[in-house]
Amino acid sequence: MKSALIIGYGQIGAEIASQLSAAGVHTTVATRSGPERAPSAATTPMTASTATASASGASSATTASAPGIGGAQVSHIRTDASDSAQLLQAAEGVDVIFACAHAAYDSRVWARLLPQLDSAVMDTAASLGIPVVFPESVYAFAGLRGAITETSPFAPVEDKGRIRQSLIEARQAHPATSASVVAGDLLGTTAQQWSSVVRMCITDPIAKGRRAFVPARTDVAHGITVIGDLAAAMIRAAHTLADVPANSHRLHIAPSSNPTLGELVEFTHRHLGSKPKRPLVLPRWSTRVAGVVERSMFELNQLAPIWYSPCVIEPGELGASLGTTDWRQGVQQML
């Protein structure tokens, strides 16, 4: 891999760009708004504002670039990824696409925007004869009673899970060569509060001297993935796609671990040297009530099986080959 296009520059896209740059891969980052500020040549992982999917038009006019960590250039361009013409122009000449753009945490928005976005990305990849790699959640498997593996059947329990299932099935049926890499709840250097439940509910409140609050049981295993591991797994998946037949799709699970949320709370207090406080556990009825006025609470409540029952993730061969970063290091990165 000599060059790559990353669509979206949120917590996952920024980490992939950092790792690719360190490996000497020329990287182009495409977002609707272009860079919020000039990229930095610093040796710390890159962070930036969230990139979300949209059906609105935007021109590929704004560009910026800087040398990356390993000397490879990271360029930023303004592109609406749901516009096939713009995306085709952005992807011309690259070896792989990492599709990391997303939308607001609302199943209605997902249903309206994500199928179009996925379709545009896969059409572009197919027309250029290059692979595309997507990050994926556990939502399409939320109803499973056992561990989530790479051969597990779909088991969605609500609209977001059904949308994720339909997206994966569309990738499987599309002529593009693609991979989806499943991860648990994310934590790590680039984790953003709006999309990392662990940061929003546990590490940030404790760091500010408040009590952690969790819309979940704290005594059951819960799948956790360090963002750096997810990025590494997506990059490895891109390399493996060079050896698979054209028009195929692979489902991988990123390196992950399964601590309890109570363990995350305890470690956060211990790392900060703060007096341990029992987390406030929100019963499911409370998020149901809050969901009447707050959409994110409604969406969270719909996924109760992964919060109030064990949600165990078992990485496959690809994930196991990379090794798993201790989740404690991911917590330390956020703190």
Q: Extract the residue ranges of the chain whose pLDDT is less than 50.
A: 36-63, 67-69
- The answer to whether 41 touches 3, Cβ cutoff 8 Å, is no
Out of 3.30.70.3340, 3.20.20.70, 3.40.30.10, 3.40.50.720, select the CATH number for domain 3-188+226-256. 3.40.50.720
Residue 214 pairs in a beta bridge with: 281
Q: Domain spans of the chain? A: 3-188+226-256
* Whole-angstrom distance, CA of residue 107 vs CA of residue 298: 10
| pLDDT at residue 65, as a whole number | 53
Dihedrals φ, ψ of 72, to 5°? -80, 145
- Residues near 285 by beta carbon (within 8 Å), at least 6 away in sequence: none
In 3D space, the residue among 285, 303, 11 whose CA is nearest the CA of residue 163 turns out to be 303
Q: List, for residues 213-248, the tens digit of each pLDDT value.
A: 999 999 999 999 999 999 999 999 999 998 888 889
| pLDDT at residue 60, as a whole number | 39
| pLDDT at residue 44, as a whole number | 35
- The answer to whether 243 touches 178, Cβ cutoff 8 Å, is no
Q: List, for residues 36-56, the tens digit of each pLDDT value.
A: 434 333 333 333 333 333 333
Q: How far is CA 140 from CA 17, 117, 248, 264, 274, in A?
A: 27, 18, 20, 25, 38
